[in-house]
């Protein structure tokens, strides 16, 4: 997959991660989508490096989507822990 495909995949993975993990994010919609793009790259790298499951060259491969959404969830949780402020 090319860089544009990873960006589109990341945007969709970030939106999916946001649906799976609702709540207020410190960065809003733009921050969440950027985290999704970064999460797609991180998830793909982790999948290829540590799980011995390289991402496919196909946009519609299920393992690629799971890796991208998983990476997005991890980064979104880390972002909330590091930069989230309690509003009580």
Buried b / exposed e over 50-88, threshold 16 CB at 10 Å, is eeeeebeeeeeeeebbebbbbbbbbbbeebbeeeeeeee
pTM, full prediction: 0.75
For residue range 64-77, what is the model confidence (pLDDT) as tens digits?
Answer: 788 888 888 888 88
Percent of residues, the chain, with pLDDT higher than 70: 78
pLDDT band per the 50, 70, 90 thresholds, residue 32: confident
* Alpha carbon distance 7, 10 (integer Å): 5
């Amino acid at each position: 997959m090319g860089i544009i495909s990873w960006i589109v995949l990341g945007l969709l993975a970030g939106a999916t991660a946001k649906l799976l993990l609702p709540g207020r994010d410190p960065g809003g919609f733009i921050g969440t989508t950027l985290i999704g793009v970064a999460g797609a790259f991180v998830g793909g790298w982790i999948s290829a490096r540590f799980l011995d499951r390289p991402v496919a060259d196909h946009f519609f491969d299920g393992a690629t989507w799971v890796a991208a959404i998983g990476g997005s969830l991890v980064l979104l949780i880390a972002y909330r822990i590091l930069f989230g402020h309690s509003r009580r």
